[in-house]
Amino acid sequence: MIDNKIWKDSTDLLIKATSSLKPGEMIKVETFRLTDCMSALEIMDTKMDSGLFSQESVGNIDDPLSLHQALWIIDELFNLEIMYYRGDNIAQTLYSSIYYSVEYEQSAKIIDNIRSLLKLNDFNPKNFITNSIIFPYIITTAKCVELTLDELRRFNIYEDEDFSMKLFGKNYWGQISPEESLSLLQDSITYLEKNHNLIKSTLVPYSEQANMVPEVLDQTEEHQNINFDIIEQIILRLKLKKHFLSSLICLQFKKIKRDPEFVTLSQTELNSTESYLETIMKSYTHNPTDPTNSKIDAFDNSFIRKLSCDMPIRRLAIHTPAECLDLFKTLIHELYLIKPFLNLKSIDELMEFSVAFSQRKVLAFPYTRSLLQSLICSDNVFLLKYHILDFVRSSVSNNVGHIAFTLIRTYYNEYSQKDNEHTDTKKLTELTNLEKKIDEFVSLYTVPLLNAIKSYYQNRQRQRRVQARMLVDIEYMQTKAEELDEDIHKFLGPNSKLPSQFVSSENGIPNIYLFSNSVYITKLQIIESMLKMGFSLNVYQQYEFPLVFWYLGSIFEVHYRCLERIGLINRAVKFRFGSDILDQFLTSFAQNPNSSYLSNASHLQDSLYFMDDSIKNSINKDLSLFEREEFKALNDIENLISPRMSFVEAQKQISFGFYIFTEILSCIKIIPIPWNRFLDKNTEKLVETIRNLNTKSTSKGSKKKSKSGNKNTSLHKNEKDDKDMEFLINAAENIVNCKYQESGARGNARFHLRFRCLQRLGSPIPNTYEEFASSFREIFTGLSIKKLLLHSQNSFRNASKILENLAGTKTSASNQHSEYFVDQINSMRKLCIANILSITKFLNNGNVLLPGNSIVLDSTVINIYESFDNLHNVTLSLLKTKLAKQLEIIVKDSKKEQNKGDSRDLMDYLAELSLSETPKNTKKAIKNDNINNDISKSDNELILKTLHLFSLTNWECEFSYKYHKLWPCINLTSIQKKDKI
């Protein structure tokens, strides 16, 4: 088909091309792949075959439009644009617009027509709306996409996971630059505003003449209040697009890198964009575009089938217009963060910003995440103004103090002053070489440290995977840091005069390990982040929560001890050298100030030609507000160690509270264990079945069976006995599987599988399953469930108090932490309070709901587990006794009938029901045929029945993340109330 109208017969061409092929052989090229083969099989499928026309019609760009239809097209295109920014395929979104996917030759003519209309006033009612409204908006949208892709092609994010960068060989509207398209859109806005009345009086009659839907302008009071003039609505959308494109032009990395003042320009444009967006959202709420009167065939949903596509097509997540408007507002607010991001003044602020950004409720747009990563570091420039080595030095100083870089120089100065007449050349050479090694380490540490920070700007799934892989690099850097520390220790020698706790008892050489401790702190932060993210990402099964919380708590304990040691080292060194070491730090910092890669803002005037005079004036006032200070140097880390320790301790308390709470919920079956689901669901039935079967076995031989009296009753009893035996066999099979799953070997295997990326690390020393089991016995032996729940509640309460004091200290005593850290503290406090209320609700309802619940709450976790284990062992024992008797009967019958198949199968099954783990008292009960009495001697049966009603019947557990994106909130819901067991 040529020009969408003329058909040409290609039969002869195909016959000639396939003349050398064998029958059944397909035409293929050397790069023919499985995807191409699958595409070839899509013939004659209306959804898959691009050559088969469907019944849906597609409009023509030359068809005249009404104003309502133009507004509808703009709104639909806006929705598709937002979907594209969120990561959907461009061929399924923007390319589907017949006005967007215009080939080069035709688009060049359209641009000439637009310029002719807007500059020469060449009014043509037929194509006026298309040329003055639709195409300027389309071209501007294409330029927004172009600028977005320019940033995304820096590959800070992962293609096809976060964003689809494929253009399928197309470059629609590529012959015009973003600045030219912006000028074109401004001309369109100006023309519409000047000829407002003329357009209304001219286009409405023309629409009626063309048998189109007439323009209906609602003049009611309500609509007059929100300015519901259809032309004004269109102008609002054009202005919105204009200012958004202006902001993207200013946010081009090449421009920001040349002069960060472009960020200030972008903020002004974003303010205007948000202002117009708010107006549109209000008007859309009152009177959205009516699709019944305005919808036309302006979009081809199967356009992707006309492209050379080598990727599977996925279903789009369609967003409503209101959702798209909210998402666009979110994008604007994300771009607002760029200016404060560039004004961060310390490593602490950078880390707090990064953590807060990664925990946003709605994942940030790929464009924003990529731009922020570009601004972090480019060409060895950090945050556009500091040298990257200064950033690494500041990071090390932030973790362990400035003594990491000043200790050896301060020590040498003291050493040389004692012996001025005989300067030790060897010592000076050692100092010089050691300082070179420090510089080499700082340079080597740059990439891992940058990757650690940039990982917070990936999507959440990728963020966790990147951090897990980074642990290997950090482990290597820690090894290098330890080697450097060993050289520093040798340089200081046995005459360092440090406290004995920081000196080796063997040779008197220090063992403070400053650089390795700095890397170690970074490693612990990555491990903590990685473990916490697994909850909200559903990496862990709910039954694994106690295990993960226990492991996380142990990491926080190690982190706390490390910070405590760093604080002691800094105090000891400061006491040893006094103020000399601080003076040395300030002197070295003044001699090597942070490099500021700034230029004047005079050339910015060239980029303001597309802006209004009022905007230019406001920008000139704001240029001076973009402060550039040196990256904050830490004068004394001692003031920061205590708050950091408090924050780590608060998280440790939260982990411990969650560990106890989730372990109890798992014990009483509110959190289900996959391999225990059948047994947990049928606990009460299992107890009743054992009682019934055992009662019948103990009453054997008491009465003789009647010969013919009650045959129907006997048949009914036999059927019930068969069902009981069938249920007992099913339960026994589940018990055997549970015992296998709960064995030490399987638990150890699951432990190593869950923490496999941490087991390969040299430090912190990996925890073992045996340590977890030992900790479980130590905590849960001897204390009742009620007391344990109160301990859990106290842990959350202690964490809340620590966080409250920490927030007050940070905001009043020092200004080291930003608003992002305070917001994080507040969200964690809300989380603690919510979990305290959940435990209180559970305890209160547990005491009131059932009189028998006190048995559960007053029991220990160990007792409940032993109750279940005893029930399972009794089940296996009873079944084995029953089946052994049946085996005797089958063996006797088999001797007569010479059929031993059933007996072999039954013997194999009995072998699986091992009694090796059965308690001795249960074995005696089996021998004495008195199993029922064995159960009744204890409260096990009552505990299990109460437990079944208390947990499975009355409670549901849900883990939500409404307060914090990493820490869960446990919501317990009572679903049924009973007065008695």
Instruction: Report the C-alpha gap between 770 and 768 in whole angstroms.
Output: 5
Peptide bond connecting 312 to the previous residue in cis, omega within 30 degrees of 0 = no
Specify the pLDDT at position 557: 97
Instruction: Report the C-alpha gap between 827 and 829 in whole angstroms.
Output: 5
133: CB partners within 8 A, 6+ apart? 70, 74, 188, 192, 234, 238
Instruction: Report the C-alpha gap between 529 and 965 in whole angstroms.
Output: 11
Specify the pLDDT at position 220: 43
Fill in the amino acid letter for 241: K
Instruction: Report the C-alpha gap between 110 and 112 in whole angstroms.
Output: 5
Specify the pLDDT at position 226: 34
**Helix (H) or strand (E) run with residue 956 in it:** strand 955-960
Q: What is the SS3 assignment for 959?
A: strand
Cα–Cα nearest to 608, from 599, 598, 621, 617: 617
Specify the pLDDT at position 662: 96
Q: Tell me which DSSP letter residue 503 carries.
A: B
Specify the pLDDT at position 949: 64
The domain segmentation of the chain, as residue ranges, is 67-336, 366-594+632-636, 647-698+717-974
Cα–Cα nearest to 525, from 477, 462, 459, 474: 474
Instruction: Report the C-alpha gap between 778 and 164 in whole angstroms.
Output: 53
Q: Which two tokens stand for residue 241?
A: 């697009």
Q: Which two tokens stand for residue 980?
A: 């008695």
Q: Tell me which DSSP letter residue 100 carries.
A: T
Specify the pLDDT at position 418: 66
The CA-based angle 849-850-852, given to 5 degrees, is: 150
Instruction: Report the C-alpha gap between 576 and 414 in whole angstroms.
Output: 11
Q: Could you give the strand order of the β-sheet that contains 377-378, starting from the edge strand earlier in sequence?
A: 377-378, 381-382, 386-387
Fill in the amino acid letter for 556: F
Tell me the DSSP string of 283-306: HHHHS---HHHH--S-B-TTGGGG
Count CB neighbours of 697 within 10 A. 16
User: Mean pLDDT, 10 residues at a time, over the chain (981 residues)?
Assistant: 62 79 68 59 48 58 85 94 92 92 87 83 73 94 96 88 84 92 94 77 50 42 47 93 97 92 95 96 67 70 73 72 94 96 89 92 93 92 89 92 90 74 75 94 95 94 93 95 95 84 86 95 96 94 96 97 94 78 51 40 38 46 41 64 94 97 92 89 84 65 48 58 82 89 92 94 93 93 92 96 84 54 92 95 67 72 87 84 66 52 52 47 42 48 71 80 92 64 30
Q: What is the SS3 assignment for 377?
A: strand
Instruction: Report the C-alpha gap between 119 and 86 in whole angstroms.
Output: 37
Whether 165 contacts 90, CB under 8 Å: no
- Write down the number of H helices and E strands in the chain: 41, 5
Cα–Cα nearest to 324, from 369, 276, 277, 283: 277
Q: Which two tokens stand for residue 295?
A: 């919808």
Specify the pLDDT at position 33: 63
Specify the pLDDT at position 180: 94
Specify the pLDDT at position 611: 44
Q: Tell me which DSSP letter residue 668 carries.
A: T
Distances (CA, A) of 738 to 499, 639, 674: 55, 53, 10
Whether 950 contacts 846, CB under 8 Å: yes
Q: How many CA atoms lie within 13 A of 528 on its CB side?
A: 21
